[in-house]
Structure 1
Amino acid sequence: MKKLSILFIILGTLLVGCSQKEQIETKTGYLDLKEKNEIAIFSKAVKDSTEEPGIVDMINPQHKFSIGEESYSLWISEDNGTIMNTKDTHTIYRLSTSSIKEVNAFFSKD
C-alpha cells in the first residue's frame, strides 16, 4: 500500500508539471516610429485590426510602439499579427492580412 501511495504521488507530480504552461521569456523591443511611412504602416495596422473575443493570456510582446498618445504591444509572425492597447490589457486585436505583410516588410528592411 505504501508503494502504491508513493507511485500516485510521483505520477501526480509528473502530471502537474507537464500540464503547466511553458514560460517563454522574450525581450521587448521599442519601435521609435519617426518617418511618415512608418507611422502610416502601424496606424493602418491599428485601424484595420479586429477585436478578438475571449480571455487574454499573452506572453511578453516582441515589440512596443506608440502612435500619438496611445501605446501598443505587438506580436508578429509570418502569418499572424496581434496588437494590444497598453491601456486595455484585456483585449487583443488581430491584424489584417495586408497589415501583417506591411509590418513584416517593415522589419525585413533592416
Structure 2
Amino acid sequence: MREVLLTIIFLVFMGGCASKDNVKKIEIAQMIGFSEAITYPSMKITKTEEIEEFINAFNSAEKVPGIANTVNPDYQVIIGTENYYLWISDESGTIMNIKDTHTVYSLSESSAQKIFDLLNTKKD
C-alpha cells in the first residue's frame, strides 16, 4: 500500500512538472561532470511527439530504493521548469531530479531505448 501511495505522489509530482500541455521544448546538454556541460544546450527537442516520448519515459520511471551513489551524468535535461540528470544507454536509463540528488528513478527498457535512439539521432 505504501508503494502505491508513493507511486501516486511521484506521478502527481512529475505530472505537474512535466505536463505535455505546458512543455513547448526540452533542452539537453551533454555533460562532463555534475556541474559542467560540454555545450549548453547541446540539443533542443521541439517536436510534440518527441517531447511526449521524454515526458512519458520520465513520468513512468520507477524509484530505485536506497540513496543514490552515481557517476557523472551523460546529460542534463530541462523539461518545463524541472531539471534532471540523465544516464542512458540502449538498454537502460536512470534519471535524477536536480532538486533531489539522493533519489534516482529507473526508466523502463523500452523507454530507455526510445530516448537513447532519439538522442543519437539529434547528435548527428
Could you tell me the TM-score, scaled by structure 2's length? 0.62
Q: Which runs of 5+ in 2 are unaligned?
A: 1-30
- Structure with bigger strand share is 2
State the Cα RMSD in Å: 1.6
Matched, 1:51 2:60: no
Separation in structure 1 between the aligned mates of residue 47 and residue 84 of structure 2, nearest angstrom: 18
Q: How does 1:53-92 map to 2 (within 5 A)?
A: 53-92=65-104
How many aligned residue pairs are there? 85
Rg larger in 1 or in 2? Answer: 1
Q: How far off is 1:36 after superposition?
A: 1.6
Separation in structure 2 between the aligned mates of residue 84 and residue 105 of structure 1, nearest angstrom: 20
Q: Which runs of 5+ in 1 are unaligned?
A: 1-25
Question: In structure 2, what residue type is equivalent to 1:91?
Answer: T
Could you tell me the TM-score, scaled by structure 1's length? 0.69
Question: In structure 1, what residue type is equivalent to 2:97?
Answer: N
Kindly, what percent of the aligned residue pairs are identical?
A: 39
Stretches of 4+ aligned residues off by more than 2 angstroms? 28-35
Deviates more, 1:54-63 or 1:29-38: 29-38
Deviates more, 1:36-45 or 1:47-56: 36-45
